[in-house]
Amino acid sequence: MKPCYFKSLLRLALAVVAISGICMVRADDLPDLGESARAELSPQIERRLGESIMNEIRLREPSYVDDPEINDYLNRLGARLVESSANPTGDFHFFAIRDNTVNAFAMFGGFIGMNTGTILTAQSESELAGVLAHEIAHVTQNHLARQIAKEKQNTLPSMIAMAVGILAARSNSSVAAATVTSAQAGVVQAQLAYTRDFEREADRMGYQSLEKAGFDVRGMGDFFERLQKAGRIYENNAPVYLRSHPLTVERISDMQNRAQDSPYRQVVSSLDFHLVRAKLRAQMGKPREAVTEFETQLREKKYASPAAANYGLVFALMRSKDAPAAQRAIEGLQALKVASPMIAGLAAEIRASLGDLPAAQAIYREALQRFPQSKALVYGYVEALFAGRQYDQALPFLESQLQLDFADFKLYGLQAKTYSALGKRLQQHRAQAESYLLQGQLGQAVEQLQFAQQASDGNFYEQSAVDARLRELRKLQIEEARLKRNGG
C-alpha cells in the first residue's frame, strides 16, 4: 500500500466521521492533497475506502437498516446478479437504508445501498433486480473512479461528496439541509451524477446480467419508466435516484427495445421478495394501523402473495404486542405449507414472547437445519438461549458459527455477552476487541485488550494470546498516527 493512498484513506475516514457527526464539514475546509491524491485508486484501496464509509454508516447512520433478514435477502439477490455480471467473482456487499424515497447507490469497493422505498416501489422481483443490476454494472465498469478522473477532481473531496450524497439521500436529513445551504457542497453534489455514457453502459451491462440470471428483462424498463413518470409529476421533488442517474426518454426506449427482442419469459417473484416487502410495510405507521392494513388485504384478497399478507399480519400483531393473536395468525400462515427462515424466525419469536422458551429454541434448531445460512436464525437462537440463561449452550454454538464466518462482528459481540454472563472477564474483553476491530474501531479494540490484560481470570496461554494481539493492534495504531501526523 502506497503511503499517499493510506493517507487519503485516513483523511476520508476522519472527514466522514466529521460529516456524519456534526454535519458541518464543507469540501473547501479540507486540506489540498495535491497531485498524489489524484492518482488512480487500486481495487484494494477502493475496498478499504468502501469499508470505512460502510463502518461509518453502520455506526452513525440512523437510517441504516440493521436487519439480518432484509440484508440477507438483498445479498442473495445481489449475489445472483453478480455471478452473471462482468466480474462474477467480485466482492460485493448490499445493504438497506430506511427511507421511503426511491434510491440506490454504489460506493467504492462494491458496497451497494438500496432505499427501502425502492423495494416497496418495485412491483416484481425482476424490477428490483433491474435496479441492482444497473448499480452492479457501475461498480464492475469502475464508473465512480472514472467519473472522478474525468472531472480531474481532487479525489478526496469527490469521495467525501459521495459520502455526503449518500447520507443526504435520506429525506429530511440534517445532512441534506447542510448540503443544500453550502454552495460549495452543492457543486460537488451535482458532480455525483453519472454521465449519460456511463448510464447507457450500466443499462446495457445490467440488462445482460439480468437476462443471464433468469429475470424478466422487461422489469428494468418498466421500473425506470414509472420512475420517470413520477419525476415528471413531482418536478423538483423527483426521486433522488434520478439526480444521480439521469434518466432520458432515449434510455427508456433503449431498454424497452432490448426487451422486445428477447423471448417472453414469465418470471415469478420469490417468496422472500414478498416477505421482505410485507415486513417493511408492517413496520410502517402505527402498529394497529399496520394490523388493519393487512387484515383488509386478506379480507379483500388484495395481495400478490397470500403467505406474505399473512406474514405481514403476524408481524404487525407482534408489533402491537399481541402475541396470542399472532400465534393464532401464524398457524394460518403455517397451514399454507410454505417454508422460509423468516416465517420460522417469527414463529420462534412468538413462542418466546408467550414464555415458551423450549418451543422457541426447538423451532430455531429445526429451522437452522434447513436454513443454516440464515444469520437471523443464528442470532435469534442465541437470544433465545440468553433468555433462558443457557450461556453454556450458547458458547459452543457461537464458536461453531465463528468457524463458519470469522468476520461477523455480531457473533463476537454475542460471544462477549456470553463470556460476561459466565463471569469470564479476559475472554469477554478479548471477544469484544475483535468485534470492535471488525467494525473499524481500532481505539476501542485496543482498550478492550487492555481490559483483558488487567483481568486476572485467564490462564497463561490466554494471557499470552491477549498480549500478542495487543502488540499487533498497537503497531497498527502507531502506523496510523504516523501517517496522520505526516499528512499534516
Q: How far is the CB of 109 from Zn ion (least distance, A)?
A: 17
Run of H or E residues at 114 = strand 111-115
Q: How far is the CB of 151 from Zn ion (least distance, A)?
A: 16
Q: How far is the CB of 245 from Zn ion (least distance, A)?
A: 3
Evaluated on CA atoms 57, 61, 67, 70, the torsion sign reads negative
Choose, by CB under 5 A, the member of 98, 170, 245, 251 that binds Zn ion.
Answer: 245
Taking each helix axis from N to C end, the angle separating 143-150 and 155-168, rounded to the nearest 10 degrees, works out to: 120
Q: How far is the CB of 79 from Zn ion (least distance, A)?
A: 20
Which residue number, 202 or 438, has a Cβ lying nearer to Zn ion?
202
Residue number, nearest CB to Zn ion: 245
What is the three-state SS of 67-111?
Answer: CHHHHHHHHHHHHHHHHCCCCCCCCCEEEEECCCCCCEEEEHHHE
Instruction: Copy the grid coordinates of residue 289.
Output: 394501523
Q: How far is the CB of 259 from Zn ion (least distance, A)?
A: 18
Separation between Cα atoms, residue 406 and residue 69, nearest integer Å:
19
Contact 394, 416 (CB under 8 A): no
Q: How far is the CB of 138 from Zn ion (least distance, A)?
A: 6
Which residue number, 115 or 415, has a Cβ lying nearer to Zn ion?
115
Site string for Zn ion, 173-212 (x = CB under 5 A): ---------------------x----x--x----------
Phi, psi of 141 (to 5 degrees): -90, 5
Contact between 131 and Zn ion (CB under 5 A)? no
Site string for Zn ion, 381-410 (x = CB under 5 A): ------------------------------
- Report CA dihedral (9, 163, 247, 70) to the nearest 10 degrees: 100
Instruction: Copy the grid coordinates of residue 141.
Output: 465498469
Phi, psi of 106 (to 5 degrees): -110, 135
DSSP structure string for 124-149: SHHHHHHHHHHHHHHHHTTHHHHHHH
Q: How far is the CB of 181 from Zn ion (least distance, A)?
A: 27
Which residue number, 153 or 195, has a Cβ lying nearer to Zn ion?
195
Max intra-chain CA distance, the chain: 71
Query: By CB under 5 A, how many residues form the interface with Zn ion?
Result: 4
Q: How far is the CB of 52 from Zn ion (least distance, A)?
A: 23
Which residue number, 108 or 194, has a Cβ lying nearer to Zn ion?
194
**Which residues, numbered 220-239, are part of the site for Zn ion (CB under 5 A)?**
none
Site string for Zn ion, 101-130 (x = CB under 5 A): ------------------------------
Strand 93-97 to 111-115 pairing = parallel
Distances 397 to 7, 265, 365, 379 between C-alpha atoms, Å? 40, 44, 11, 11
Which residue number, 238 or 347, has a Cβ lying nearer to Zn ion?
238
Which residue number, 26 or 245, has a Cβ lying nearer to Zn ion?
245
Binding interface with Zn ion (CB under 5 A) = 194, 199, 202, 245
